[in-house]
Structure 1
Amino acid sequence: MKRILILLFLVISPVDSFAQLSADTLARIDKIFDRYLPQNPGCQLSISRNGSVIFSKAWGMADLEHTIPLTTESITEAGSVSKQFTAAAVLLLEQQGKLSLDDDIRKYIPEIPDYGTPITLRRMMHHASGFRDWGSVAGIAGWPRTTKTYSNDDALDIIIHQKALNHKPGDEFLYSNSNYNLFAILVERVSGLSLADYTKNYLFEPAGMTHTQWRDDFRRIVPNRAIAYEKTATGYETDMPNEYVYGNGGLLTTTEDLLKWNEYYWNGHFGSPSLLPKQLTIEVFNNGTTYPYAAGLYVTKNKGQDYVYHTGSTAGYRALLIRYPQEKLSIAWLSNTSQFDATSNNVVKEIENLFVADRSDKNAASKSESATSTMAKNSNSVKPNSLQDYIGTYYSEEAQATFSLKESGGKLILNQAPGVNLDLVATGQDTFKAAASSRGLGGAVITFQRDKKSVKGFNVTIPRARNVSFKKQ
């Protein structure tokens, strides 16, 4: 009889969790998610208000090869939503008296070069350290993430080869995964436990996150894991993060577990006293300005209300975790497909419109135009100096890569790797740009350096790694 009652509870409880929602609301949610067809990769959505789950459902397939449906218990990867957990581990270590956010990272990882100014843990937490993104540097070399089985040790090796920073620490916000990979290494050196074990003991288990772990070993069997996919012209292909690197991403979890985390720390249960204020603290830059990034969380406004969130994207996985504090509302979404990245309407935004009141001042709309809308755009190429000036072989100690440049058909061609040749388009004197589709060098700006008149090298700049140096051999 007891077993029958338990089975009845398991069957009835999902329905009861929707009891607060009208039939019309449920129908509208299903309409929003009807793009996730039953036979294709899908997603999970869970919503809580006032600490109670009011909606939780999954659509689509977790495993196309074995025809396994996605459920609310399918383990999916959270991408950079993971960063808040890594940041929380560092905040807790500070509360335990084992470090200070004002410590220089070289106190714990002395292998990092001395750039002439301290790089504090606080600057790193808020992406104001200046560290180049190690994955971007690896991409410049022709080996973007997911093309090799990188580990945190590999990330560290790339980081310590950088002879310069993107900018002076504290000057600006520039997103870099390097900060959070270094945090994973720091947690292990300071606590004696891996980040995976430390967070399991001090975050996941106390919060009741029974379906959560890290992808610190991508070969480990993870029961109920949803496979990630990319849409192709003929169907789907797997797109998995086959790498050991984690801390910047790599959290394996469910939407319901993410809601448990939100309720745990928003209700002041994380840390003693609560570390919630520190998790929400915004960094002040050297010039007194700020950027709305706290401890692995964006803290801003939406619909006239406070809005705390982070997105995630790793290989084919996509993620979003949201909190509206005034509404006491949390929304968690995880997907195992990148198929809808280019879709103009975002499913979670549509869900927000259903559940969140718009309290914004309609009369206070900004009249200023976007800088990009008024900026003159000139995509025409310009005639550079003689292309013969640039021909040669170049080596970068920072990217640990060798490029060769040649002229062909009146164009400057960069050989990035065997069989990978990129057309460079001149945009100014001694300045070129790589095509957007280039492997790891998409849209890169290449600026040649001269000694008197002869070319001595060039710098490569992409969004998260500026002025990576190559010397002419």
Structure 2
Amino acid sequence: MNASALLALLLVGGIVAPPADAADDRRVTAVDALLRDYAGEVPGVSVLVMHEGRAVLRRSHGLADLEAATPASPGTRYRLASVSKQFTAATILRLAEEGLLQLDDPVRRWLPELPPATAPVTLHHLLAHASGLVDYEDLMDALPAQQVQDADVLALLAGADRLRFAPGTGYAYSNSGYVLLGLVAARASGQSFPEVLRTRLFAPLGMHGAVAWTADAAPVAARAWGYSLRDGRWQRTDQSPTSATLGDGGIYASIDELALWLAALDGDTLLADSSRQAMFAAHTTTPTGEDDVDAYGYGWRLHGGMQWHSGETIGFRNVVLRFPQQRLAVVVLSNRNAPAPYPLARAIAALWQVSGPEAP
């Protein structure tokens, strides 16, 4: 679906707000001022603000492709990196609703290749970063010549018969765990992980261009390319050896598609209320020194009344914030290595938080 068709769908579904009033005009001006470093012939940014279930701001600056001088737009698809984890978690919850798996299943039920030390690890532990799994990147002797695939991660973990701590007794953010969840979803459903995402999440919501991309698939439509500032010049740095894994960070989507996703999280059209409650429950307390993170749910960080997640990979920096009590959400997607978008997203959210932020 092209950008104009998606916008038409958003309008028909009542997700895009009607024309702005004077207060919204002032907010748009303020957002544009906050985005000044993204303006011009530089890697771009796309910003979404959802309020009361509708997209009240859709703004893009800069370029999605420097070499082709393609402007960023609300339909530009960025690599979400770890923002993908909320979709992986939602897929597991959907499969649990269908009775194809249970959250207390041992991961070895689905991935018997894993070593004996992982016997106590359940899908719940993987979702909440409480598994104690070793980080697969720590198991690589050197960066490989070819990109690491999900099957390679499984092979690396199969050869590491140890855990960092007993499952359920600690917290350690784990890309390994979310790669395994993608593999579990594939085995439980009988589909590839990209196809599971498409059939369970993207197609039902109308997110037809969103995709967990693999090199053998069709090119990502309206794709943003990633860049890093090196020696004063923006250089294309779109992929690294660990950019091909899926469950932990492989999804491409636009802010218009994320508007559909965020709207769905406010109701039970996609996930049952019990699943959404599980997604946003504080399953694991995080270390004291972790900034603005008190606990982890399933694919979401929790801090006071805010639910959020960042996504960082070579050439991309992204963040999604939700303030459910105020029915407010902010998305910032960018195709550059800096700056981190979290402070920007908080500043944008504050423009709509008439009573002040929900989290200190």
The corresponding residue for 1:271 is: 271
For residues 361 and 239 of structure 1, what CA distance do their matches in structure 2 show? 36
- 2:295 maps to which residue? 292
1:149 to 140, 147, 150: 147
Aligned equivalents of 2:148 and 2:357: distance in 1? 45
Q: Tell me the SS of whatever aligns to 1:55.
A: strand
Residue 198 in structure 1 maps to residue 207 in structure 2: no
Change (3 A) 1:65 1:95: same
Measured in 2, the distance between the counterparts of 1:208 and 1:167 equals 41
Higher percent of residues as helix: 2
- Native 8 Å contact 1:283 1:291 kept in 2: no
Bigger CA radius of gyration: 1
Residue of structure 1 equivalent to 2:163: 165
Match of 1:384 in 2: none
Per the TM alignment, residue 119 of structure 1 is displaced from its structure 2 partner at its CA by 0.6
1:331 aligns with 2:334: no
Which structure has more relative contact order (CA 8 Å, sep 6+)? It is: 2
CA-atom RMSD in angstroms: 2.7
- Check conservation: 2:17, 2:56, Cα contact below 8 A: no
Match in the other structure for 1:320: 319
Q: Quick one: which amino acid aligns to residue 318 of structure 1?
A: R
Counterpart of 2:300, as a letter, is L
1:365-384 matches, within 5 Å, as none
Q: Following TM superposition, by how much is the alpha carbon of 1:133 offset from its aligned partner in structure 2, in angstroms? A: 1.4
Q: Which amino acid aligns with 1:217?
A: A
Does the Cα contact within 8 Å between 1:19 and 1:54 map onto a contact in 2? Answer: no
Question: Alpha-carbon deviations, 1:184-235, whole Å to 9, x = none?
Answer: 1111111101121111111112122233111233774222101100001141
Normalised by the length of structure 2, the TM-score is 0.87
User: 2:288 is matched with which residue?
Assistant: none
Supply the distance in 1 between the matched residues of 2:231 and 2:137 (Cα, whole angstroms).
28
Distance, in Å, in 2 between the alignment partners of 1:20 and 1:205 is: 36
Q: 1:347 aligns with which of 337, 344, 347?
A: 344
- 1:74 corresponding residue in structure 2: 76
C-alpha distance 173-200 of structure 1, shift in aligned 2 (>3 A): same
Unpaired runs of at least 5, structure 1: 1-5, 366-473
Question: How many pairs are equivalent?
Answer: 341
d(CA) in 2 for partners of 1:179, 1:202: 21
Give the letter aligned to residue 248 of structure 1. D
Deviation at 1:103, TM superposition (A): 1.2
Q: Distance in 1 between matches of 2:167 and 2:345?
A: 35
Structure 1 segments, 4+ long, off by >4 Å, are 12-17, 358-362
Q: 1:42 touches 1:61 (CA, 8 Å); kept in 2? A: yes
- Gap change, CA 1:21 and 1:255, over 3 Å in 2: farther
CA contact (8 A) 2:44 2:60 kept: yes
Contact 2:17 2:55 in 1 (8 A): no
Alignment match, 2:131: 129
Q: For residue 205 of structure 1, give the secondary structure of its aligned residue in structure 2.
A: helix
Q: How does 1:403-422 map to 2 (within 5 A)?
A: none
Letter matched to residue 295 of structure 2: P
Structure 1 position 358, deviation (Å) = 4.9
CA contact (8 A) 2:295 2:303 kept: yes
Q: How does 1:53-72 map to 2 (within 5 A)?
A: 53-72=55-74
Equivalent residue letter for 1:179: G
Q: Distance in 2 between matches of 1:20 and 1:296?
A: 37
1:2-81 correspondence to structure 2 within 5 Å? 16-19=18-21, 21-81=23-83
**2: CA distance between counterparts of 1:178 and 1:276?**
23
Q: Which has the higher strand share?
A: 1
- Tell whether the 8 Å contact from 2:78 to 2:253 is kept in structure 1 after alignment: yes
TM-score of the superposed pair, with normalisation by structure 1: 0.67
Contact 1:78 1:251 in 2 (8 A): yes
Task: Measure the CA separation in 2 of the matches of 1:281 and 1:339.
Answer: 31
Work out the CA distance in 2 between the residues paired with 1:161 and 1:357: 53
8 Å Cα contact 1:258-1:321 kept in structure 2: no
Q: Measure how far apart 1:275 and its partner are.
A: 2.0
Q: Would the aligned equivalents of 1:259 and 1:331 in 2 still touch at CA under 8 Å?
A: no
> 3-state SS of the aligned residue for 1:346?
helix
Judged with a 3 Å threshold, the aligned counterparts in structure 2 of structure 1 residues 361 and 153 are, in CA distance, closer, same or farther, namely closer
